Structure 1
């Protein structure tokens, strides 16, 4: 539980992820939560079969891009720590996305006039927070300046979310 709280504090830009060493059990739980929460969100947005495929492609892209980045920077030894830190952040954002989807459903059922604006604002807030979390993690691990960390985080976001979404549209 203490390890989880330390990882969750990364979402509020506290702690250094390079100092956190996850256990194998914790890493697998983080991955399973990532997959299940992704299946839920994508199942609410689109066809469950398409959503499942997209989440699996996102997971492959996430692991691949983290691995490729670490191989290129010759810091492979950070793989477990880096993917766990990023996935915990993604899990927090995905949990909030599930809540946002539930809120959207309630607003639709109640014919709330500004439902679309609120949903878009929540989506932008969550994506911005997600990129900030990942940027913070890269900054803490590799001592990059803030603009470089945010650029890498944005690139990671495009690779892990944009590429599978683009593939699904083909």
Structure 2
């Protein structure tokens, strides 16, 4: 539990991910939660089969992107640390996204007039926060300048969400 709290503090821009050493069990649990929460969110938005496929594609893209970055930086030995830091924070954001979907459903049932706007604003805030968190993790891990870490985090977001989304539209 203590390790989880240390990883979650990354979502609040505290701690250094390079100083956190996850166990294999912890890493697999992070992946499992990532898959489960992603499938829940995508199934609420689209067909469950399509949502599951998209989450699997996102997972492959996330592993691939992190692997390529670490191989290019010659820091492959830190794969577990980096992917766990990103996945735990992404799991936190995904949990908030599930809450956002539940709020949207409630607003639909209550015939709330501005439900689309509220949902869109919350989604935009979550995506912005997600990019900021990944940027923070990369900046702490690689000592990047802020601009480079933001560009890399945005690129990671496009690779892990954009490409699977495009693939699903084909």
Query: Structure 1 length normalisation: TM-score?
Result: 0.99
Consecutive aligned runs of 4 or more in structure 1 exceeding 2 Å deviation: none
Counterpart for residue 101 of structure 1: 101
Alignment of 1:105-124 (within 5 A): 105-124=105-124
- 2:142 is equivalent to residue 135 of structure 1: no
Counterpart for residue 148 of structure 1: 148
Deviation readout 1:26-48 (Å, 9 max, x if unpaired): 00000000000000000000000
Deviation at 1:122, TM superposition (A): 0.2
Counterpart for residue 66 of structure 1: 66
Deviation readout 1:85-123 (Å, 9 max, x if unpaired): 000010000000000000000000101011111000000
Counterpart for residue 4 of structure 2: 4
Counterpart for residue 23 of structure 2: 23
Secondary structure of the structure 2 residue equivalent to 1:18: helix
Matches of 2:134 and 2:38, distance apart in 1 = 17
Matches of 1:147 and 1:95, distance apart in 2 = 28
Would you say how many aligned residue pairs link Structure 1 and Structure 2? 170
Alignment of 1:14-93 (within 5 A): 14-93=14-93
Secondary structure of the structure 1 residue equivalent to 2:164: helix
Query: Structure 2 length normalisation: TM-score?
Result: 0.99
Matches of 1:57 and 1:116, distance apart in 2 = 27
Unaligned runs of 5+ in 2: none
Deviation at 1:78, TM superposition (A): 1.0
Unaligned runs of 5+ in 1: none
Matches of 2:116 and 2:147, distance apart in 1 = 31
Deviation at 1:77, TM superposition (A): 1.1
